[in-house]
Amino acid sequence: MMKEAFSAWAPTIDRLRPSPDVSVAEKVSVLRALELEPGGPSIDLGCAVGMWTAAAARLGYVAEGVDFSPEMVARAEELFPDSTFLEGDVMALEPCGKYQLVTAMGNHVTYHADLIAFMQVVRGLLAPDGVALIALQDFAPRLAHGAGNYLPAPFIVNHPDGTETIVVERRRFTDPEARAMSVEFHMLPSEAPAASIRYTGWAWTLKDVKAAAEEVGLSGAWCHPVKYMPVLKLTR
Digit-coded pLDDT (tens) for 188-203: 333 333 444 444 556 6
Domain of residue 152 covers 139-199
Task: Show the beta-strand stretches assigned E in 105-217.
Answer: 126-135, 150-151, 155-158, 164-167, 171-172, 187-189, 196-199
pTM confidence score: 0.78
Cα distances from 170 to residues 13, 15, 137, 152, 156, in angstroms, run: 10, 11, 15, 6, 11
Same domain, 117 and 212: yes
Q: Are residues 159 and 131 in the same domain?
A: no
pLDDT of residue 226: 80
Query: Do 222 and 185 belong to one domain?
Result: no
On whether the CB atoms of residues 139 and 170 are closer than 8 A, the answer is: no
- Shared domain for 77 and 11, answered yes or no, is yes
Given a cut of 70, the residues of the chain with pLDDT beneath it are 1-18, 138-203
What confidence score (pLDDT) does residue 206 get?
Answer: 86
The count of domains in the chain is 2
Q: What is the pLDDT of residue 144?
A: 45
In a shared domain, residues 159 and 62: no
Same domain, 62 and 174: no
Same domain, 25 and 125: yes
pLDDT at residue 22, as a whole number: 84
Q: Are residues 117 and 223 in the same domain?
A: yes
Identify the pLDDT of residue 107: 78
Could you tell me if 8 and 46 lie in one domain? yes
Task: Report pLDDT for 76.
Answer: 94
